[in-house]
Amino acid sequence: MGIWWGSSQTGYQLAGEEKLHLTYPTTSPSGIADNEWLSGQLNHLTREQESKFLEFKHLCEEEGYFVPRRDGKEADYDNAMLLRFLRAKKFQVKNALSQFRVAQTWQRDHAIKTFYSEMDVDCYEDSRRMFAQWTGRRDHQGRPIYVFPLRHLTKEKMEAYISKMSSSTAPTEETPSIPTKIPGHLLAFHALYENLLDFVMPLCSQLPRPHMEIPVSASTHIIDVTGLTLRHFLEIKRYLQGGSLLATTHYPETLSRIFIIGAPPVLRTAWGFIKQWVDPETFSKIFILSPAEVPRTLLEYMPASSLPQQYGGTLKWEWGDMPDLDESARKLAPGLYQRVGDGCAEYVKGPVIWSGDSIQVLGTIAGKKREIIIPLHTTEESTSV
């Protein structure tokens, strides 16, 4: 999810003392007409890329780090995942395999997927509200859109959150398999990425978009730094740095674009810090927009119905809200909205996993595991990749 910062070709330059000027991507406004981004994607590989992909996949299987699924849709998701690691290392098989080993060994040793599926629902929601949140909508290419007003992340909130997660992720009688080898807040951070990879992306891959032959494997982010001071930035810098490192190491190529809006002059100073711990590929995906450029530019990359009203769109979604799925997603999985008591139907809380022909609602409540199966309502419009 590229929760922190995140491929189009872009550049930047500082000009004068008052303005930050950007060179914008060469892609078309919607990113649909210009197909440069298709390079290295599933079903769009060159012969050389295909050969390296097959070699990489074979080595991953041979070493026991990857067990392929045979179902067409599930196999496509697996292949798209492997290709993320290859693209991150410029199709250098040896380097990609090294990173994949690290990521998979870490996943196994710390039971990341088990932790996510058994995570306490309230703890999951606390984590979701701390970082970038999915609006429930998608950009023109079908990628999920995440929003993160950075002013909500403060040193005091992070310290309180870390303390709470450290005491909330200890194993219980019902969840003895949850690991405790790494800090609870890092496990929770992994859980948010597991939600992106194991639910949000597969869901978005089933919804109408220009290139249905390519599974959705990246997300688009709007980072709102309105009101951010240099002091505030320095206080949260180490948390941002840690999150960026974790994302780059374990979840490469999950960022499509990051739009930074509301940037104050102090960002020119902060930019020097950011460059030191953001890899060049991720850095190339960052767009800094002036207030006048925000609605125009964002609407080039996403429909108005997917852009929150505060940024120039028509979506009635605010920070802290649950995802507001678009019509296609609601038709495919209406069960994601469940009635609570006598009130209106609400988006389901806690860990959710895509499971082929259904969706699993998991996690624990008051120490008891839950499992709710939500059937999918497939239509001609929502077809498999």
Least confident of 75-89, 104-118, 160-174: 160-174
What is the end-to-end Cα distance of the chain in Å, rounded?
A: 21
Half-sphere exposure of 339 toward its Cβ, with a 13 Å CA cutoff? Answer: 4
- Measured distance CA(108)–CA(270) in Å, rounded: 36
Between β-strands 286-289 and 11-15, what pairing exists: parallel, antiparallel or unpaired?
unpaired
Residue 259 has pLDDT above 90, yes or no: yes
The average confidence (pLDDT) of the chain is 84
Least confident of 10-19, 325-334, 358-367: 10-19
Q: What is the pTM of this model?
A: 0.86
Residue 383 is predicted with a pLDDT of 43
In terms of CATH architecture, what is 11-375?
A: 3-Layer(aba) Sandwich (3.40)
385 band by pLDDT with thresholds 50, 70 and 90: very low
Average pLDDT over residues 247-276: 81
Domain boundaries, the chain: 11-375
Average pLDDT over residues 326-342: 91
- Measured distance CA(198)–CA(69) in Å, rounded: 14
Between β-strands 372-375 and 358-361, what pairing exists: parallel, antiparallel or unpaired?
antiparallel
Residue 290 is predicted with a pLDDT of 84
- Measured distance CA(266)–CA(116) in Å, rounded: 37
Q: Report CA-CA distances (Å) from 143 to 172, 219, 220.
A: 37, 5, 6
48 band by pLDDT with thresholds 50, 70 and 90: very high
Residues 6+ apart with CB under 8 A from 371: 360, 361, 362
41, 42, 47, 48: CA torsion to nearest 10:
60
Residue 379 is predicted with a pLDDT of 56
Range list of H helices, 180-225: 184-195, 201-205
Output 25 or 141, whichever has higher pLDDT. Answer: 141
Average pLDDT over residues 136-157: 96
Residues 6+ apart with CB under 8 A from 282: 2, 5, 6, 244, 248, 255
Residue 30 has pLDDT above 50, yes or no: no
**What is the Cα 268 distance to its own chain's centre?**
26
Contact present, 127 and 134 (Cβ < 8 Å): no
